[in-house]
Each structure stands twice: as C-alpha cells, then as structure tokens.
A and B are shown apart, each in its own frame.
Chain A
Amino acid sequence: MMSLPQASSVASRVDTLFYAMLGLSAIVVIGVFTVIVWFATKYRHGSKADRTRADSKSPGLEMTWTLLPFGLFIVIFAWSIALFADMSRAPENATSVYVVAKQWMWTVQHEGGQRELNTLHVPLHQPTRLVMTSQDVIHSFYVPAFRVKQDVLPGRFTQLWFEPTQTGTFDLFCAEFCGTDHSRMIGSVVVMVPADYSHWLNEHVGPGLSERGADLFRHLGCSGCHDPHSGIHAPLLEGLYGRTVPLQDGTWVRVDDRYIHDSILLPAKEVAAGYEPIMPTYSGRIGEEDVLALIAYLKVIGGASHEQH
C-alpha cells in the first residue's frame, strides 16, 4: 500500500506510531459505526423493539468514555514525545552540512567546500545534521522518505538531522508556501555507501568553508577593523567563539552562530560592551552562504571544536 521507503533511522519508528494510531482509529470508527448501524436498524421507526425506560444520562458511562480516551491519548502522547525528542536532538557525532534556501532553490555547502544546487549527497548509516537558513522567505526542508521536515527561516538558523538507512535518491520538497515557484523547489537527497561518498567528496572538493570565510574576511574589509593593528577600536575575534560576552545594555550573550550572523547583518542590535556602534551592516551586500563561510572561519580562529548551537 505505502510505496514510501523507510530510508532513515527514525522512519520505521514513525511508521509504527502511525500504524498504531491507524489501528486504534479503525477500532473506534468500526466500533461507533457498528453501534450506529445496529441502533439505526433496531430502533427505526415502525420496528417492534423495546423502547421503555430509555435513560437520558449515565454519569458512569460518561466518565468512562471521557477517561478511557484520555488515558489512551496520554499513552500516544508519551510515545510521540519520546520519538520527537530523538528526532529533535542530533547525535554528537553528526556531520554538519549547511543549507541556504532561497526562492526557489536549495544551495548546499559541505565543510570541505563541496557545493551543490538542489541536491544533497550524504553517507549511509552516518548521521548528518543540516544547519539551515533562508535568504528570503520561509521555506521548509522536507524529505518524505526520511520522515523529516523543518521550516527554514530567514534571519535564523534551524536544524534538522537524519541517519540514512538505505542508499538511493530520495525526493526533497519545499513544504512551506514560498511564492510563485514553490512547487518547483524540488531537489534530491542522494545516499551513498561511505566509500562512494568519500570518493564523491574528493571529486567535488573546493575551498573549505572556513578557507572561503578567511578570504571573505579579508576581501570584505573585516580585518580592516577587527585586527590588533588597526586604528579602529573593534572587538578582537580570535578565541571568541563559544565564549559569553557582555553587551552594552548590561546583558550577556553567548557568541554562537546566531550572534555572529546577527552581528554581521544587524550590527547595531547587540553591541559589545565598551565599543561604539560604528560597524556598518553587510545586509544586502553578502548572502547567507557567505555568512556561513565567515562563521566557519570565526569558529576556526575562535579555537572552538565543531560545536553547533
């Protein structure tokens, strides 16, 4: 009946929950339907059934059919939450891949600098974590075969993880209406055995994400201020990633991907304590892919391990 492959580690668990609910629903539907048909036949106008002493209430019955469904719902809820928690938390050893959605295409960047358009190559039996943002409107990254979906927002990073369990090519759909060609924003996820995947990575290697970031750091003039020898009083960025720093308004913030992203595109929003709000904004001058590259570079000089937050 269902032709959709179970191509990820959570897919069969999702399907099991689905079929369990289907089974329960079928029991309820058949049960109620049977009772209705039975009563409708037995008590149809003109039949000789016994209609005396028809009660109009029964608190016991009411409580039963209130509490019994409620109890069942709690069970399903608990099961669903356990699965959902697993679906939401990527394993520690997941490899990060960066996705930027834009009207009406998906751009993908791997850490080794491999770039793809509307395709995503991933290895079999290894967890991959997608760090995603949008260049424009809200999109949604949806791979039915993996049973995963996550909205992709502008101005924010959202995450999605999966561990493929079958090789092959699987549909990637945009699942949040995003304008004229929403239905053409279709791609593929290609799952390869690790040997083939390494081969593919080597074939398509480009400047690594952080190398590109270093390049951009120079070309865009960031080092003109963020350098110990520059005449401008600007925060030094070495060793900064992952630390918690004070802001001008007295609050503290963790220097993570989101903070760096916003500092580049909305520098006046969270100014570091002790500095003037003089950094120009790069909004409109660079795209989200380049911001991701800069973040990767800052992680490297920040001395952080590849943590994602």
Chain B
Amino acid sequence: MSLPAEQFDDATQQREAATLGMWSFIATEILFFGVLFAGYAFCRVEFPEAFKEGSRHTDLLLGTAETADLLISSCLIAVAVREVQLGGQRIATWLIGSTAALGLAFLVMHGFEYVSEYHEGLMPGIHYTQSGQGATAMQLFFCLYYFITGFHSLHVTVGVVILLVMARRTYRGDFDQDYHTPLEMSALYWHLVDLVWIFVFPLMYLIGRAG
C-alpha cells in the first residue's frame, strides 16, 4: 500500500478527495457538452429537415459498432475494478488493457468515418460538395457533428492513455484491495466518456432513420 500524498492526513482523506475531484470534474464536463447539445437542440428545431438529411449521411454501421464497442468496454472496466477490489491482479490487468484496446478501436473506426465523410464531400470548410436547398443548413449539422464527436474523441484518447497507465500500474502491483483509488477514478472517467456517447449516437446517427 502506498503512502498518501504529503498534503493528506491519511489514505481515507486522499480517497475522498480524489473521488470528489473526479465527480466535480465530471460535472464540468457535463456543462461543456451541455452547451453543445443546447446548440444542437436549437439548430435542430430551426432546421429539422436538414438535420434529418445530415443524419442520414452518417455511417450507421460504424456508429452502431462504436456504440457496442464503448458499452462493452465500460462493462470490462467495471469488472476490472471489481477484480481488484476482490484482490485480483492478472485478470484485472488484461481487462483494463482490453478496455484501452476497445477505446483505440473506437478511435480507428471513427477515423474511418471521418475519412469517408471527407471523400463524400461532407466536411464544411475543408471539403464540402453538397448542393441543393438544404445544403447550407446541413453544413450546420456537420459542423456540430465534427465538433461534438471530435471533442468526444479527444476525451476517448485521453481515456485510452489513462487506461494504459492504469494497466501498467495494476500489472506492477501498485493496487490492492485497500487502495486502488486511481483505478476507480479512471473507470469513472471512462463511464462518463461512454455516457456522453450514449447521447451522441441517437442525436447524430438515428434521427432521420426511424420509420
């Protein structure tokens, strides 16, 4: 068990501080994405047809795969934390590593999406070849799409790095039943990343496709 950092009186205090810190951070993240979703809501009300049309141009297959990917990864990291709580180490290391791998896979899939969207001329400001009546408003959809998914992917990237570090630390035996706060906090962060995607997926990929 490692000593608490110098500013803390004991390990309990450190754990409380870390937990509150992570939840506070999550609250600020919700506000970040909240503004983006508010902007999205406003534009969707103003340009319903263009948004539906834009949504139909997203890659539903990849999007669904990415959703499944993140859901599974959240499950894996939760099990990993449980493992460590029960005293395990090897299996937990593999699980954490797999979560990171799934995160990486998510980024690769999303990269493919961006590349094909570029080729289809759906990148406003860079390569946008749509024409017709709704093209300008659809540009708005895609700007929001890249901003929100890009911002989200940034969070996924940070999460992958954090998870790899956590995997290494678990492998080296830094954590045990009594102390595994950094791992718990990393898992919490990963769940946030997953949760945001749960909102992004229907709003971006599914709106024009029902019925």
* A residues lining the B interface (CB < 8 Å): 248-249, 267-269, 271, 277-278
Contact = CB atoms under 8 A, between A and B. Distances in A.
Contacts of A249: 48-49
Interface residues of B, number: 8
A210 to B, nearest CB: 29
B202 interface: no
A278 B47 CA distance: 17
B133 A268 contact: yes
Closest 7 CB pairs of A and B: A268-B133, A277-B133, A249-B48, A249-B49, A268-B134, A268-B137, A248-B49
Contacts of B133: 267-268, 271, 277-278
Interface string B33-56: 000000000000011110000000
Nearest to A279: B133
Given A249-B48, A277-B133, 13 more contacts: A248-B49, A249-B49, A267-B133, A268-B133, A268-B134, A268-B136, A268-B137, A269-B46, A269-B47, A269-B137, A271-B133, A277-B134, A278-B133
The CB with the most chain B CB atoms within 10 A, among A268, A271, A277, A278, is that of A268
Interface in B42-75: 46-49
A161 B134 CA distance: 37
Interface in B108-151: 133-134, 136-137
A268 B53 CA distance: 14
Contacts of A267: 133
B150 to A, nearest CB: 27
Interface of B: 46-49, 133-134, 136-137
Contacts of A277: 133-134
Contacts of B136: 268
Nearest to B46: A269
Contacts of B47: 269
B47 to A, nearest CB: 7
A234 to B, nearest CB: 14
Most buried by A among B48, B49, B133, B136: B133
A269 B50 CA distance: 9
8 contacts: A248-B49, A249-B48, A267-B133, A268-B133, A268-B134, A268-B136, A271-B133, A278-B133
Contacts of A269: 46-47, 137
A278 B49 CA distance: 15
Contacts of B46: 269
Contacts of B48: 249
A248 B46 CA distance: 14
Nearest to B48: A249
A248 B134 CA distance: 13
A268 B134 CA distance: 7
A153 B131 CA distance: 28
Nearest to B134: A268
B138 to A, nearest CB: 11
A248 B47 CA distance: 12
A137 to B, nearest CB: 20
A277 B131 CA distance: 13
A228 to B, nearest CB: 24
Nearest to B52: A249
